[in-house]
């Protein structure tokens, strides 16, 4: 009984604490197409961006995901990201996407997207994927074998990886909850650069 009340109490703190921001931030224009030259830029009422009247259908369009990426590299994987650099209309819309190709046994090594959750849809092939929770949750490992059109979620900020365990190429589509989720590849960040992290640090840590 007491426990139940504890739970309720805690729950209600949530109300007091959560209502404030749920609806507030809001856009100040329909979109902010990135401009690369001033000729197509406009200044209206204190806003400056590509004149919507000059915006083109193609500013919101990208073609080329159908091209197979070259996976002839040590990891046997490659990706094409679709973001504001190649799809200027994405600017400010809080989402981006990618196609990832895997050679047989190709790997996307353990990495983190500090600023975005990622969903993955398998188009072809068989992938072994997983992520690891933080210290607070005991560094648990969640894994799954994925087949065509399966979907998997990698929560924001957690270390995750994908391995093609099939004898054929694998292809996936990815959606990310940020226009620039960022990437930290663990191996590169910890061991990858020169000068290296102090060896005493690495020796004691690993």
Residue with tokens 């004149």: 51
Q: 113 a known binding residue?
A: yes
Contact partners, residue 149, CB within 8 Å, separation at least 6:
121, 122, 123
DSSP state of 70: P
167 is in an annotated binding site: no
Contact pick of 69, 71, 90, 170 for a second copy (by CB under 8 A): 90
Q: Indicate the residue among 26 and 167 with the shorter CB distance to a second copy.
A: 26
Whole-number Å distance between alpha carbons of 108 and 154: 13
Residue 87: CB atoms within 10 Å: 21
| Subset of 100-119 contacting a second copy (CB under 8 A) | 105, 107, 109-112, 114-117, 119
**Residue from the set 14, 70, 72, 167 that interacts with a second copy by CB under 8 A:** 14
Does 68 interact with a second copy (rule: CB under 8 A)? no
The reply to whether 97 sits near a second copy by the rule CB under 8 A is: yes
Enumerate residues 125-184 that contact a second copy by CB under 8 A.
128, 130-144, 146-159, 161, 163, 173, 175-184
Instruction: Write the DSSP assignment of 125-177 as a string of letters.
Output: S-EEEEEE--GGGTT-EEEEEE-TT-EEEE-TT-EEEEEE-SSS-EEEEEEES
Among 49, 100, 103, 125, binds a second copy (CB under 8 A): 49
Contact status: 187 vs a second copy (CB under 8 A): yes
| Binding site per annotation, positions | 111, 113, 160
């Amino acid at each position: 009984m007491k426990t139940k009340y504890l739970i309720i109490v805690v729950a209600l703190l949530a109300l007091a604490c959560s209502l404030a921001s749920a609806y507030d931030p809001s856009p100040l224009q329909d979109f902010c197409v990135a401009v690369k030259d001033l000729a197509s830029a406009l200044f209206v009422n204190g806003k400056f961006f590509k004149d919507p009247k000059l915006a083109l259908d193609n500013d919101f369009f990208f073609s080329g995901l159908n091209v197979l990426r070259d996976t002839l590299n040590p990891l046997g994987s490659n990706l094409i990201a679709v973001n504001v650099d190649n799809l200027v209309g994405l600017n400010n819309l809080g989402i981006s996407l990618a196609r990832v190709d895997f050679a047989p046994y190709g790997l996307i090594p353990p990495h983190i997207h500090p600023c975005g959750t990622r969903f993955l849809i398998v188009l072809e092939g068989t992938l072994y994927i997983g992520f690891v929770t933080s210290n607070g949750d005991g560094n648990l490992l969640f894994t799954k074998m994925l087949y065509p059109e399966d979907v998997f979620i990698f929560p924001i900020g957690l270390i995750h990886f994908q391995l093609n365990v099939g004898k054929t190429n694998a292809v996936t589509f990815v959606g990310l909850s940020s226009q620039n989720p960022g990437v930290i590849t663990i191996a590169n960040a910890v061991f990858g650069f020169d000068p290296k992290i102090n060896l005493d640090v690495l020796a004691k840590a690993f």
